[in-house]
Amino acid sequence: MNLDRYDLVVVGTGFASSFFLHRYLQRSRGDLRVLVLERGEINPHPWQLAGGHEAIKRESQRSFGNDTPEKPWHFMLSFGGSSNCWVGNTPRMLPEDFRMRSLYGVAEDWPVGYDELEEYYCDAEEIMAIAGPRDGAPFPRSRPYPQGAHRFSDVDRLFKAAYPDRFFALPTARPTAATSRRPVCCGNGVCTLCPINSKFTIANELGHLYEDPRVTLVTGAQVQGVEVQGGQLVTGVSFTKDGRVHNASGDLVVLGANALFNAHILLQSGLDQPELGGGLVEQVSKTVVVHLDGVDNFQGSTYVTGHGYMLYGGPHRSERAAALIETVNRPELRNERGKWRQILRMRVIYEDLRRPESRVRPSPDNPLRPRVSFAGASPYAQRGMDALEGEMARILAPLPVERFWVDAEPNRTESHILGTTPMGNDPARSVVDRHLVHHAVRNLVVLGGGVFPTAAPANPTLTLSALSLWAADRLAASAAVA
């Protein structure tokens, strides 16, 4: 493959890469030359509906070795990355989530604060056409959500009346009004693969980026490593395609694969650092089922409708994990005559801490295939879950409840992969700086959930997308391409 030198080489086409590319192209001159390397292929939505979606998921799971198979890590190796399989929930992190060490003596402070990211949160919400509440939010906002919230269920309305400042409509990338490229959410509750292509994906809203004449997209390209000169300068990347090894030169290299593969690429490139590859983490959740007395459920207009912050902020975070509550609106019948819809399912999502023994490392028998091991939830998260049953009686007090129970075991996954390339100010305790630039190699950028130094209860996709916009703004300015 004959590849000339590029101004920018981007690895991956998921949220992190695409939001970075969106902003970088906006700020760039007309003769910019960009190469994008995507391991997967372009898989149109109709083909995925016909069965291809499951095939991609199976192939993605074969791309790494899992030493702890009871803990799955979900993602999609396909054009658009995991936008092909996410559910679309898009809360922001709270301001206190960025200051865990300062406020609670736990985990790490982020090197960037909520106030610095707030405008980028707004920009990301506009790109995704997020539907969210107009009656306030648990975090400061400078702009309203682009679209109005989904309809509450009757149970949500009872929660809202009881907790007006701690219960809100869930912000989501499932629209309540049609966009130029997407119809209104159909409310069927099968959101990992939306049947009508309503939920935001890279393909349906940002696919045009890859048709820009400044951009060359190569699919089926698996990046092996970055080429580093003198330990301080990236000169390009090496990748395999069609069974052959190729090289591409670039002045700036951006890694936008997920937290498994970004870490693996850096390790394979000889850029070993104390925190690189360790600290693999995601949130951990438990399910609560409630049998109601005389109140029907499921009048909402999408899969998940409510967000409860009754277990989130507060001094308890010094000792045990905070949690975010989701009320699930997907219909589930109760097997009792006359009480079919008098049931509520909630997902209670706890933050967790990075643990060094949970990690990504190169496989000794296949350098292209990372191996993953997971040590389980931290004691901090476990203490939060242990307190759930006692706290739930108080939280459910405003509802007419016959009985409730908490599932004994946590859910297997939240489908978020975080923490293996953390950001920070100290190179001894982090991999990238506050602008997501590698501490040692200053023309190498690492994006995505791997840069999270903590795993807050909030779903991470909106935050990692905002971080990509933040990084692109600063890199474009420093490169004088604006």
Q: What is the pLDDT of residue 272?
A: 86
Q: What is the pLDDT of residue 368?
A: 85
Encoded amino acid at 100, one letter: M
Q: What is the pLDDT of residue 17?
A: 98
Q: From CA 394, how far away is CA 436, in angstroms rounded?
A: 42
| Averaged pLDDT for residues 84-100 | 98
Query: Which residues 6+ apart lie within 8 Å of 283 measured at CB?
Result: 349, 350, 351, 352, 414, 416, 455, 456, 457
| Averaged pLDDT for residues 121-130 | 98
pLDDT tens digits for range 38-57: 999 999 999 999 999 999 99
Please work out, in degrees rounded to the nearest 5, the angle formed at the alpha carbon of residue 291 by the alpha carbons of 286 and 292: 125
Task: Report CA 377 to chain centroid distance, whole Å.
Answer: 18
Please report, rounded to a whole number, the percentage of residues in the chain having pLDDT higher than 90.
95
156 CB-contact burial (10 Å; exposed 0-12 / middle 13-18 / buried 19+): buried
pLDDT at 246 > cutoff 90: yes
CA-based nearest residue to 384, from 293, 315, 322, 473: 322
Q: From CA 319, how far away is CA 381, in angstroms rounded?
A: 9
Residue carrying structure tokens 């000889």: 270
pLDDT at 478 > cutoff 80: no
pLDDT tens digits for range 212-221: 999 999 999 9
Encoded amino acid at 273, one letter: Q
Q: From CA 130, how far away is CA 149, in angstroms rounded?
A: 9
Q: From CA 84, how far away is CA 205, in angstroms rounded?
A: 12
Q: Give the chain's domains with CATH numbers.
A: 6-147+193-283+354-385+415-478 (3.50.50.60)
pLDDT tens digits for range 24-34: 999 998 899 99
Q: What is the pLDDT of residue 11?
A: 98
| Averaged pLDDT for residues 256-264 | 98
pLDDT at 302 > cutoff 80: yes
CA-based nearest residue to 303, from 401, 223, 193: 193
Q: What is the pLDDT of residue 365?
A: 87
Confidence bin at 481 (pLDDT 50/70/90): very low
Confidence bin at 102 (pLDDT 50/70/90): very high
Write the DSSP symbol of residue 32. -
Do 150 and 143 meet the contact criterion of CB atoms below 8 Å apart?
no
Q: From CA 381, how far away is CA 316, in angstroms rounded?
A: 12
Residue carrying structure tokens 């799971």: 61
Q: What is the pLDDT of residue 482?
A: 40
Do 353 and 381 meet the contact criterion of CB atoms below 8 Å apart?
yes
pLDDT at 1 > cutoff 80: no
| Averaged pLDDT for residues 266-274 | 94
Average pLDDT, the chain: 96
Residue carrying structure tokens 């399910």: 287
Confidence bin at 367 (pLDDT 50/70/90): confident
pLDDT tens digits for range 346-359: 999 999 999 999 99
Q: Which two tokens stand for residue 52?
A: 């291809």
Write the DSSP symbol of residue 207. G
| Averaged pLDDT for residues 324-332 | 96
pLDDT tens digits for range 374-421: 999 999 999 999 999 999 999 999 999 999 999 999 999 999 999 999
Please report, rounded to a whole number, the percentage of residues in the chain having pLDDT higher than 70.
99
Confidence bin at 479 (pLDDT 50/70/90): low
